[in-house]
Structure 1
């Protein structure tokens, strides 16, 4: 065991050393590059600011003001004429600065550019910004900054990195000794279990690893494996369901479109087929919209904007919308709601909930039956019940009616061919309001959906 612990500890130490070395090197270089880039960008921006001032007011007073400003900073500004002669300088222009100015390209973009960025070897970094007045070059603004500031910063950064590296190595050695002697064995078991899970072997088993954090980790691995197996099954079922749901309307659309295109198809039949194509297109559009809504709910990217809604006119407005469809089915709808009831809900989202439940009640009820909407307060909570006298839901199906793509009617007929997403959306919207939804149903008696807010 000691040999195994030593080998694992040594390998772990070497791996961490390499990883830390690479990380430190990359981080060090990135910080230096970022800091130097910031200095260069700040210098160029400063020159562009002076350039903007001069373009707005090119006078001796303005030039002198800029020179006085820069004379009190760690940067130096030099203003030259178009021919290269110096018009103004905030401090003495050295020979190196003159050499940098001579390296000016023939064409300088208006946003300026960096002339010298070699902070390691040069004495100054430099930028140039052209002054354009009436579309003509009136001069050039050169900005210089000593590289000593950057070098001092890098030297301090190097000291911090060296100290951090030494402390990291010391701390890492202590941790490795502890890990290899105390937790190596159970971690190896957990590692082997996770490898089996990654290969698809989800029915893993682990020995009891104690009641500490490692034991909790082992239990979490078991739970994870079970959840992954459930998720895998649900994913397969979801993909199969959505594939079928998309295939069905597309099959109708393609089939009836092919028939309607035939030259021997009479106009009456074409109109009927086009109507079917339109219906299936609407269903397909609704399915995609519902999938989009579910995706937003899963990502918590949809918003609930609650307001204190007066429930009686709220439900009366909804009933007016669904009344024509109920009348067509020779069904009646009864609303039972007190006058003074209010509830904190999002009216737009909750209208979607109620209409979905009423639409289900209409589809699964026979003509000459009643749908009752009861809204009342009980024990400080608002109840909203939608009750029909329809086919009802079998007892074995009740626990799954809020699952995505689950449908009690397995025939998937065109008349009752919903997407199986409506009740799932209803449940998520109700829960987003902090409420619950319950269902009571008996075959051939009816169904009651009770929303509690």
Structure 2
């Protein structure tokens, strides 16, 4: 994680430093050019001012006065006639001869720039015309040593250099706090995932922000909770399998030993053999349901959907269970409109409904009522199994689909079952893309409703 913080820091620094350098370059260039342009404009304005005075009073005295004024300033002036002959100069003209070029074309009254290459030339220069009675009479050449411009730019460079260093230092400080702020929660998440990998699922992460890092912290906590639940469920599952397998095996082994080692009357022998057969069947049923669950978990079974007429489908199931209804004197009622069609796997749907009806029969008293109902609701088909049996305590309802879970904690053998039926039902319902809901009250009854999306119409 330290490597990540270093990488992030370097990446942020390069990006921010590149942006700062880019902006500083163009800002410096713009300010420097602006300042040089201001110097040239000021120099040209000064020349235009002298030109305006000389146009009003063009004489030797006025020329000498202008020259005297410039001799005490940072700039220099040279006044020539229209042919280029020097009439007056504030400094030795030898230094300015290369700039004293008479233009071949007329010059604007606002003046023009003669030299603006401040980087390589010793002077910048402007020229302003002097007109007397509407006729060109002379020129005013203004000069400024570029050393002053260089000094101005150097001062600007110093300011930018200082600002650059301050920006770099602040950037480094910000990046250090920023990279630590990002990597600190990641480091805690890494420690949490390390604990999870060692089987320690009681992890807690501070969720200080409502962003992607906060979402990741929530996801890790949720993962730890789910893994802890799965671990507990696996332990309970293994304990339940152990219990469920041991019980019938104990009965089989015990009664088989009795039958084998003792000389029993035929009636008692028949009784023990019947128990052995019952427990063998129970064991076979348990292994079958475990095998079904294994196939569901591995997605190794396929749902083959067909168009099913629920009225006819339920009638066949009623015939299969008629003996069970008669034995327990159950009042069974089937409510299903004609031509109620559904897309489902007939074998799996039968397995679902049989499981639900079997549970209703087991947990209902003699003379109870069981209702199997189906109806259409917009674009879905609803199937409901309703009984007025023992019901399920409210706190137990979310748990009834867990494997080997039984509301009857005593695991009484009189009720039979393996505790896997509803777990298989839920998996098969979800494999159909359907939903299952439970509504139950203790000592009142239970209703389990299946909702299949997308009805099929003829």
Structure 1 324/221 Cα, relative in aligned 2: closer, same or farther at 3 Å? same
Give 1:224 deviation, angstroms.
Answer: 2.2
Q: Please state whether the residue corresponding to 2:320 is helix, strand or coil.
A: helix
1:378 CA displacement:
2.6
Work out the CA distance in 2 between the residues paired with 1:253 and 1:271. 14
Matched-pair contact (CA < 8 Å) for 2:203–2:221: yes
C-alpha offsets along residues 342-386 of structure 1, whole Å, 9 cap, x if unaligned? 111111100001111111111111222222212222333222221
Distance between the aligned counterparts of 2:193 and 2:410, measured in 1?
Answer: 42
Separation in 2, partners of 1:397, 1:191: 37
Matches within 5 A, 1:271-310: 271-310=270-309
> What are the superposed Cα offsets for residues 87-119 of structure 1, whole Å, 9 maximum, x if unpaired?
xxxxxxxxxxxxxxxxxxxxxxxxxxxxxxxxx
Matched, 1:428 2:421: no
Encode CA deviations 1:394-439: one digit per residue, 9 max, x unaligned.
Answer: 2221121111111111121222131111011111111221221222
Mapped partners of 1:422, 1:335: distance in 2: 22
Query: How far, CA to CA, are the matches of 1:297 and 1:6 in structure 2?
Result: 42
Q: Is the 8 A contact 1:373 1:386 kept in 2?
A: yes
For the residue of structure 1 that corresponds to 2:257, the secondary structure is helix
The alignment partner of 1:312 has SS state of helix
Distance 1:198 1:265, change over 3 A: same
Rg larger for? 2
Seen in structure 2, the aligned counterparts of structure 1 residues 193 and 438 have a Cα distance that, compared at 3 Å, is closer
In structure 2, distance between residues paired with 1:212 and 1:451: 38
Cα distance in 2 between the residues matched to 1:7 and 1:304:
50
**What secondary structure does 1:334 align onto?**
strand
Instruction: Report the Cα offset of residue 199 of structure 1.
Output: 3.0
Say which SS state the counterpart of residue 356 (structure 2) adopts. helix
Map 1:13-412 → 2, pairs under 5 A:
185-208=184-207, 213-412=212-411
Structure-1 separation of matches of 2:396 and 2:210: 40
Deviation per CA, 1:112-162, whole angstroms, max 9, x where unpaired?
xxxxxxxxxxxxxxxxxxxxxxxxxxxxxxxxxxxxxxxxxxxxxxxxxxx
Counterpart secondary structure, 1:308: strand
* Aligned CA distance change for structure 1 residues 408 and 215 (closer, same or farther; 3 Å): closer
- The Cα shift of 1:254 comes to 1.4
TM-score (norm 1): 0.57
CA deviation after TM superposition for structure 1 residue 202, in Å: 2.1
Match of 2:418 in 1: 419
Rounded Cα–Cα distance in structure 1 between residues aligned with 2:277 and 2:249? 11
Normalised to the residue count of structure 2, the TM-score between the two structures is: 0.57
1:445 and 1:195, CA in 2 relative to 1: closer, same or farther beyond 3 A?
A: closer
Runs of 5+ in structure 1 lacking a partner?
10-177
Equivalenced residue count is 283
Shift in Å, 1:6: 10
CA distance 1:190–1:387, change in 2 (3 Å): closer
Q: Secondary structure at the residue paired with 1:237?
A: helix
Q: Distance in 2 between matches of 1:256 and 1:348?
A: 36
Distance 1:189 1:427, change over 3 A: closer
C-alpha change, 1:435 and 1:219, in structure 2 (3 Å) is closer
Q: Is residue 244–residue 418 contact of structure 2 (8 Å, CA) maintained in 1?
A: yes
Q: State the shift of 1:449 in Å.
A: 1.6
Q: 1:184 to 1:419 in 2, by over 3 A?
A: same
- Equivalent residue number for residue 79 of structure 2: none
In structure 2, stretches of 5+ residues that fail to align are 8-175, 453-458
- Give the match for residue 166 of structure 1: none
SS in 1 for 2:423: helix
Q: Distance in 1 between matches of 2:427 and 2:321?
A: 23
